[in-house]
Amino acid sequence: MPLYRRPNGIDLPFSSEITPREVFESRRGFMRQLAVGAAGAGGLLELSTGDAWAQASGAQKLAAKANPAYVVMDKATPFKDATTYNNFYEFGTEKTDPAENAGTLKTRPWTIAIEGEVKKPLTLDIDSLLKLAPLEERIYRLRCVEGWSMVIPWIGYSLSALIKKVEPTGNAKYVEFTTLADNRQMPGLRAPVLEWPYIEGLRMDEAMHPLALLGFGMYGQVLPNQNGAPVRMVLPWKYGFKSAKSIVKIRFLKEQPRTAWNIAAAREYGFYSNVNPDVDHPRWSQATERRIGEDGFFTKKRKTLMFNGYNEVAPLYAGMDLKKFF
């Protein structure tokens, strides 16, 4: 099995969906003011999805409220870069492949089965899933194991809302995510880069953490196909490949699930895969990173932050040897 390629977890759109930079910068400034004002008021403010940002892409808008508790003040990544520089191996292994090939993905109808160690197993269509909890816009950093990062305004709600709905039993210790694997829609499945379907997983306490986002949109609109439409995970304290895209099944398990990249190369991709500048990938350092869309090739790299700067998750790993459980 070839192991030359590496994962991440972000994605891309067609040229007609690329937001002009001036539109992006205008909205970014507005969002910063919104976040500061909302934080002072101690509440959520309505985010208009009828703004120029969403209109410029030509994609379906997605209503959400900005949650000031989940905003980073870093300069956000331009929409063009966030949607044209990605890893989504089901559509090819080159960074440009997802944007070029994901037009074959059909996101309606779409259902997700929730099963395993739960009292109330469910099969929900995407529209029912969208209505399960109020949608929020959260601006998260996302760090790729390959050494690059982005800052993206995501739309979704905490995965815990869905977990509470199905009532896991006391036997549920882990959550497994299975993504779509359809050869008719995904040309990348023809290459044996990984075992398909793509599978990822979390420990139950990780899945219940408020930061774990079930994502349906970004930049004020529904997810572009190449970014994991119609539903994906967004886990900002972990390397991007942990954030499974185009999810079709969620299972609650007693035992730790076997995950795609851990199966392919366990020495390189651990089950936890928390962002950690002190634990290098066997083939490169994780001490620094390059911010896509902001830093030029010769610009000094940023220092990588422990847990990607999301230190609120540190108690989840208290007492663990993070070099052993990487």
Q: Is the peptide bond before 109 cis (omega within 30 degrees of 0)?
A: yes
Mean local confidence (pLDDT), 181-190: 96
CA distance 23 to 19: 7
Whole-prediction pTM = 0.83
pLDDT of residue 21: 35
For residue range 260-306, list pLDDT tens digits in order. Answer: 999 999 999 999 999 999 999 999 999 999 999 876 667 789 999 99
Give the residue extent of every domain in the chain. 15-313
Domain 15-313, classified CATH 3.90.420.10, yes or no: yes
Q: Does 219 have pLDDT greater than 90?
A: yes
Q: Does 23 have pLDDT greater than 60?
A: no
CA distance 14 to 87: 15
CA distance 300 to 307: 21
pLDDT of residue 161: 98
Continuous segment of H or E residues that includes residue 234: strand 232-234
pLDDT of residue 56: 56
What is residue 264's DSSP assignment?
Answer: H
**Which residues on adjacent β-strands are paired with residue 153?**
139
Q: Which two tokens stand for residue 308?
A: 């990607």
**Which residues on adjacent β-strands are paired with residue 142?**
150
Alpha helices in the chain (DSSP H): 21-41, 52-57, 79-82, 97-101, 126-130, 159-166, 204-208, 260-264
For residue range 96-155, list pLDDT tens digits in order. Answer: 999 999 999 999 999 999 999 999 999 999 999 999 999 999 999 999 999 999 999 999
Among 6-15, 42-51, 244-253, top mean pLDDT goes to 244-253
For residue range 39-93, list pLDDT tens digits in order. Answer: 333 333 233 333 344 345 578 999 999 999 999 989 999 999 999 999 999 999 9
For residues 292 and 33, the model is more confident at 292
pLDDT of residue 252: 98
Among 190-194, 208-212, 223-227, 298-302, the minimum mean pLDDT is found in 298-302
pLDDT of residue 91: 97
pLDDT of residue 296: 63
Q: Which two tokens stand for residue 257?
A: 């699930």
